[in-house]
Amino acid sequence: MKRWIQTVSWPGSAVGGSSWSVEEARSQPPFLAMAGPQAPRLRDHTLLGPDFHRQRGRRLVLPALASQTPDMTSYAYTRVQDGDEDSEPTRRMSTKRPPYFGLTGDRLSGWVTVACTTAMVLFGYDQGVFGGIIITPDFLETMGNPNPSLQGAIVALYDIGCLFGALAAMFVGERLGRRKTFLVGVSIMSVGALMQTCSYTVIQMIVARIITGLGNGMNTATAPVWESETCKPSRRGKLVVFEMVMNIAGFAVSNWMTYGFSFAQGSVSWRFPIAFQLAFSVVLFATIPWLPESPRWLLMHGFEDEGAAVLAALHGEGATAQDAVIVDQKMEILEAVRMEKDISPSWSDILHMRTGETGMLQRLLLGAGAQLMQQLVGINVTSYYLPLVLQNSVGLSNNLARLLAACNSITYLLFAFFGIVLIERAGRRKLMMSGAVGQAGCYIAISYCLAFAGPEDRRYGAAATFFFFAYYLFFGVCWQGVPWLYPVEINSLAMRTKGAALATATNWLSNYLIVEVTPPGIAAMGWRFYLVWMVFNVLFVPVVWLFYPETANRHLEDVDWLYRDNPRMVVVLGNEEAVQLERPQRFVEAELRRAGRAPAAEVGDVDLEVTSGDHLRKRT
């Protein structure tokens, strides 16, 4: 078998009497090797010879071997005969399939987004589907016509499953990695969906709902972390918010699905909408297994070569693990990992408030608090029960209530896209505060209208319906995505899985309580029930203003540095770096300094670099 050899040589006088060459050898260029009179001939991207440093990749670095800088004397391709011993390794290399089907850069990270987005669509579908099923006559008859409290239990115990799923992700997610945890969650959720579809009693349905929730809790705790750790910093906020917008898309699909099947007769009117969850599972099983693991998880667990390879694949543009930009990213992550391992507390330390100078306890509470606030602003008072609310509080017919709930989901989806535009421009803090103000105003108007609504005057009912729609406008733009993004950004790398899982568990626990009390609360308190959520919205404006630092336009590691410099920071007001929208200048300067001393950028007297056109060039 013949190979091409690309050779760059230096005269013996320049390097102490020995002639040296850099060879690029393969059936087609470039395959790198180093050869010399005192070095054995090896392959596999190895640099060999006296005083040479083993290094993989496209960048070749020649250390200082003499005071005189060698001159490049030859540069040529030569075709030579290869021995039999070279045939088999070369053949094996040529047949090796590229990872991720050859996808790199934006195309590869785009498929990660597809998987995470599908999980969030499924999450939204599950949130909305039982809102239409719970008023389906055949379902109620099959389940023995449960009273409002039992209806609330059937719907709400799903959230208990989600709670335990999120807690499970907190303990096993760091051991399994993002990708495997995600697959386990999808598998459990699929089993639960099948069991729901085949249920004939309340007990069967409750058990199936809990199992489905267990899988969904693992998915919702893992997907935002995986997305945030594989995407570029400038896109992190937009992508996570986009996924939550697609959560609304799933909610919209479920509303139209249950409305359409409400005209069907028999059990298909509710069994098919439940079974449709499995369509999303098929997409997830077809994508997750071949996608890359989080490079941050790999580097944190000692898989440095694999982590650097994933960073290069996600960067694209033909990058390799030795390129300066990849080395810089890797060193930034490893630096954060080393510092976290030196000071990372156990759960016992956290519970006893022994977290050292890291601000970990504050950061865990801020992430969990964002998810708690998302529930207490009142979204699931209406997202689970909007048809029931329009029937019982406004007085609409069953068919009209379903239709308006479906129409509302479309407007909710359309307005949520504005959140993608505003997430980096307005920042996390302004979105949460302005959204809380708007939502409080809507609940005041809803309470007032429902207080005067009645069969003899439908105008107040119509006005209340309008403000339910307006509430979704504010929530979709401002609160839909930020609470899911914030726990990932605020927590350190070592605590990111635990922090995101704890925040998600907080979301599901508060979600359960709200969904459980809503049907009896509406029945007992009427219009006064909505004033409770108005009070919470008003309260959260000063909470965000005083305690929540801005995380927009920052690298994930920037927040670590902020808390290392301010380990006891609780009130952020007055700390300019904590609240400003732009990335603090010192973090920008630190990144430039790291890039300026990247190990592969300049070593010794001569730096040989393979450029994008596969040419060698010398820099002195």
Tell me which of 303, 323, 343 is where a domain ends: 343
Residue 457 is given by DSSP the state B
The answer as to whether 585 is a domain residue is no
Q: Which domain holds residue 26?
A: 2-96+602-619
Verify that 277 and 307 share a domain, yes or no.
no
Verify that 365 and 467 share a domain, yes or no.
yes
Verify that 229 and 316 share a domain, yes or no.
no
Identify the pLDDT of residue 355. Answer: 66
Number of domains in the chain: 3
Q: Render pLDDT for 264-298 as a digit per residue (tens, 0 to 9).
A: 888 999 999 999 999 999 999 999 999 999 998 99
Please tell me the distance from the alpha carbon of residue 493 to that of residue 333, in angstroms, as a whole number: 9
Where is pLDDT greater, at 225 or 351?
A: 225
- Residue 55 exposure: Cα atoms within 13 Å on the Cβ side: 22
Residue 149 has pLDDT above 50, yes or no: yes
Kindly indicate the confidence band of residue 548, based on its pLDDT and cuts at 50, 70 and 90: very high
Identify the pLDDT of residue 519. Answer: 77
Verify that 355 and 455 share a domain, yes or no.
yes
* Contact by Cβ (8 Å): 36, 49: yes
Please tell me the distance from the alpha carbon of residue 145 to that of residue 141, in angstroms, as a whole number: 5
Amino acid identity, position 437 = V
Residue 574 has pLDDT above 60, yes or no: yes
Q: Which two tokens stand for residue 615?
A: 């040419």
The answer as to whether 578 is a domain residue is no
Verify that 320 and 215 share a domain, yes or no.
no
Residue 382 has pLDDT above 80, yes or no: no
Neighbour order of strands in the sheet with 2-10:
32-35, 20-26, 2-10, 74-81
The answer as to whether 566 is a domain residue is no
With a pLDDT cut of 70, the percent of the chain lying above it is 76
Residue 339 makes CB contacts below 8 A (sequence gap 6+) with: 560, 564
Verify that 317 and 353 share a domain, yes or no.
no
Whole-angstrom CA distances from 186 to 45, 190, 358 are 39, 6, 34
Neighbour order of strands in the sheet with 606-610:
59-62, 606-610, 616-619
Verify that 176 and 217 share a domain, yes or no.
yes
Q: Which two tokens stand for residue 91?
A: 């053949």
Please tell me the distance from the alpha carbon of residue 587 to that of residue 592, in angstroms, as a whole number: 9
- Tokens 């809990």: give the residue: 210
With a pLDDT cut of 90, the percent of the chain lying above it is 27
Q: Render pLDDT for 322-370 as a digit per residue (tens, 0 to 9).
A: 888 888 888 888 887 787 666 666 667 777 766 666 778 889 999 999 9
Q: Render pLDDT for 96-119 as a digit per residue (tens, 0 to 9).
A: 677 888 888 889 999 999 999 999
Q: Which of 33, 21, 268, 247 is nearest to 119 (CA)?
A: 247
- Write out the DSSP string of 396-410: --HHHHHHHHHHHHH
Please tell me the distance from the alpha carbon of residue 253 to that of residue 152, in angstroms, as a whole number: 22
Identify the pLDDT of residue 335. Answer: 83
Identify the pLDDT of residue 337. Answer: 78
Identify the pLDDT of residue 533. Answer: 93
Q: Render pLDDT for 481-531 as a digit per residue (tens, 0 to 9).
A: 899 889 988 988 778 777 887 888 898 888 888 877 887 888 888 889 999
Identify the pLDDT of residue 9. Answer: 40
The answer as to whether 463 is a domain residue is yes
Pairing, β 606-610 against β 74-81: unpaired
Where is pLDDT greater, at 188 or 41?
A: 188
Please tell me the distance from the alpha carbon of residue 419 to that of residue 412, in angstroms, as a whole number: 11
Kindly indicate the confidence band of residue 160, based on its pLDDT and cuts at 50, 70 and 90: confident
Whole-angstrom CA distances from 311 to 49, 55, 295, 297, 324 are 30, 17, 6, 12, 12
Kindly indicate the confidence band of residue 40, based on its pLDDT and cuts at 50, 70 and 90: very low
Residue 58 has pLDDT above 50, yes or no: no
- Residue 359: which CATH number? 1.20.1250.20
pTM as predicted: 0.65
Identify the pLDDT of residue 393. Answer: 66
Give the range among 86-100, 432-446, 462-476, 576-590 with minimum mean pLDDT. Answer: 86-100
Question: Which parts of 39-177 are beta strand (E)?
Answer: 59-62, 74-81
Identify the pLDDT of residue 76. Answer: 36
The answer as to whether 150 is a domain residue is yes
Q: Render pLDDT for 580-615 as a digit per residue (tens, 0 to 9).
A: 988 888 888 887 776 664 443 333 333 333 333 333
Please tell me the distance from the alpha carbon of residue 552 to that of residue 541, in angstroms, as a whole number: 18
Residue 237 has pLDDT above 70, yes or no: yes
Verify that 532 and 518 share a domain, yes or no.
yes
Cis peptide before 30 (omega within 30 of 0): yes
Verify that 63 and 117 share a domain, yes or no.
no
- Kindly state the average pLDDT of the residues 60-86: 37
Verify that 248 and 356 share a domain, yes or no.
yes
The answer as to whether 563 is a domain residue is no
Verify that 134 and 26 share a domain, yes or no.
no
- Kindly state the average pLDDT of the residues 432-457: 88
**SS3 category, 480:** coil
- Tokens 């590229």: give the residue: 98
The answer as to whether 140 is a domain residue is yes
The answer as to whether 569 is a domain residue is no
The partner residues of 59 in beta bridges, in order of sequence, read 609
Verify that 286 and 298 share a domain, yes or no.
no
Q: Render pLDDT for 12-25 as a digit per residue (tens, 0 to 9).
A: 333 333 333 444 33
Residue 129 has pLDDT above 90, yes or no: no
User: Where do runs of H (alpha helix) occur along 262-359?
Assistant: 268-275, 277-287, 295-300, 304-315, 324-343, 347-351
Residue 393 is given by DSSP the state I
Identify the pLDDT of residue 328. Answer: 87
Q: Which of 62, 48, 41, 20 is nearest to 610 (CA)?
A: 62
Please tell me the distance from the alpha carbon of residue 15 to that of residue 34, in angstroms, as a whole number: 15
Helix axes 482-490, 496-525, angle to 10 degrees: 150
- Kindly state the average pLDDT of the residues 237-246: 83
- Tokens 């987005």: give the residue: 117
Please tell me the distance from the alpha carbon of residue 109 to that of residue 231, in angstroms, as a whole number: 6
Helix axes 496-525, 202-230, angle to 10 degrees: 140
Q: Which two tokens stand for residue 55?
A: 């290094």
* Contact by Cβ (8 Å): 224, 485: yes
Mean pLDDT of the chain: 77
316: how many CB neighbours lie within 10 A of its CB?
Answer: 14
